[in-house]
Structure 1
Amino acid sequence: MVSITQAKLRVAVLTGGGDCPGLNAAIRGVAKTLMLTVQAEIIGIEDGFLGFIERRSRTLSYQDCSGILSLGGTLIGTHNRANPFDYHGEDYSSRVKAYYDELGLDALVIIGGDGTLSIGYELTKLGMNIVGVPKTIDNDLMCTERTFGFDTAVSIVTEAIDRLRTTGQSHKRIMIVETMGRNAGWIALHAGIAGGADTILIPEHPYHIDQVAQACRTRMGSHQFSIVVIAEGAKPADGNVCVREILDNSPEPQRLGGIGEQLKQQLSVHLDAEIRATTLGHIQRGGSPTSFDRIFATNLGSYAATLVASGQFNRAVVQKGNQLSHVALACVANKTRFIPDDDPTLGTAIAMGICFGTEHLAYHKSVARNAPE
């Protein structure tokens, strides 16, 4: 633990990666807690790590951080292509450290997903005091049970499924809903269950088109419509992920998308039915956060502030057993939390007969799952 003795801290806050409902709530939690507990001066780094590279920041007042709890987006902007270790082919990390020193910062709070926190971990090696706050709608960060933004995204996708259901029922169609979820299928799984999907396809388990077709055929026979939810990173067992475009100057060059339309074409060979595909895209990211995400993001931000105030740096705030805690940034960096086979929500979906397009995740009546004694 680092001991801080100066009367007034100078703490910067940064939001990196994609926008996410709850970012402003987290900024507010960090800033107001530090302002009120240790009279800290809060510096907002503009547009993520790009603000460090281009030397852009501004002081945030208490008033700046008021009235932003319900707002989507981020007060200080973000950027998902400004990796200071590889920005347009050059290493700007020393420039980041120089600007950190010039600002006279005692600490930096970074609010972001796996890419942002991984960059933060590398910057700690240069001597920067960093505390990470986990955010991502994908809910795929290691060491934490949940990230803020996930609840809002699931709510948005669930509402979309509810709306598409009425069209499917009315026209006797198979409705395919493509969600975000590049590497992990948390959104598809949770929204699929909440929306009553018959089939959920996730990146963790490549699907067999014949099993998906059979599930749709069975559902069409009994209810005349079917709902299929598929994560953008899902892929057929004999194929690859669906790449929409490649951006060479991005930390993640491959931009996924289009698997819903691809699945539609695959199913049309097997089924004599009307099939429609809808891609929700960035609709899942935007808008006002749910009440859960407002509270959760505020809690995470405030907890991060207490770590800064007590001199506990190079840590990431996490939730374990419904309690907030912290782990070393190294434990979170460069890792992805996939849906494990023993996940209780996944188990529920299997037990209810939801199709995942693979025999590995199929319910067998002869096998009792978690039967009580």
Structure 2
Amino acid sequence: MSVRIDITGLTPDRIHVVPSPLNELGMALHALSEPGHHPGLQGWATAVSARLDPCLADRMCEADFLWRSTFSDVFAPFAGLPGRNALPGETLAEELDQLDRLTDEQFVDAALEFTCQSTNGEPDRNILADPAVQQRALDLAAARGPHQVRFTRRLLDDPPAVRTWLRGLLQDCDEAFFADTWARLSHQLAADARHKTELLRRKGLGEALKSISGVVSLDESVRRITIDKITDGHTATGHGGLVLMPTSLGWPHLMVLHRKGWQALITYPVSAPGLAAPPTVEQLTRRMAALAHPVRMRLCRHLARGSYTTGELADAHGMTAPEISRHLTVLKKAELITTRRRGRYVQHQLDISVVSRLGSDFIEGVLR
């Protein structure tokens, strides 16, 4: 699974690395509503939440589905402007003006992302004039709850009013907490953008993408960017541009805007704890499948405590050496165990540094 961007015909002058205050505000709202996604920001989220005006906090809850479970493309309005080559504004006010320049159809379509009603690859249609499409949106919203249904009705009945309400909410969030946060983060994001721009100029797009993340790659032979994600999607730059956007609050999210008719955008975190090269989806699949077997779970419990030979594990688990060997092969292919030779003995041990990245619950389980 992956998201692919066809960049046939894309010239270097149409590739830009630029931060966005509106996008970062969206990331801030997401981190506040889902602090579990961002353990490194829990101190910041707690401090901001503690000083929030209760009325503003209630208003933020009214539309938090725009940034909690999904990240709405309304936070990148520049990508929907005609020509597909606009850039985000330097200030939040400029980007909110760009939000006002989207058509009602674009605004509603992007805001309805939370219903999982994706139109990224579907034929052109007019949501505001098609009763069947509107009813489908309401049915999908109903699965999320009555609050979302009310919002969807307002959105379909009066898009300008909802857009005005959302703009006012974002401006109040800026005044309440985001302006200070942006003042602190903007220098880091600007520095990263300059570095990536220089990398583009000196070494080309492939190296710049590699510096963003190990899961982003460029196939020059077919002029295609591939982003390894547990989702499928595709878009093309066409006559438009490609924007690479750094975020400081977004880790671990690497997001790709591939909405039909919008400019391609990759939002990447500038700081990420852990290893520089994250595992591919294929590696994750192998690791989760390897750990799903009860025998291999029990082997991991042994191997987390020390290094053992195949014979020792066979004796401990009442199995034959060939049976143990087969399970060890699966764990080794998943890169979950290390092997070393000591004289005529081969010892195996769980690689805690790799397993820990899969989750602390598993580590606690095998070490309990």
TM range (shorter): under 0.3
TM-score, L = length of structure 2: 0.26
Which structure has the larger Rg over C-alpha atoms? Answer: 2
TM-score, L = length of structure 1: 0.25
Larger relative strand fraction: 1
Larger relative helix fraction: 2
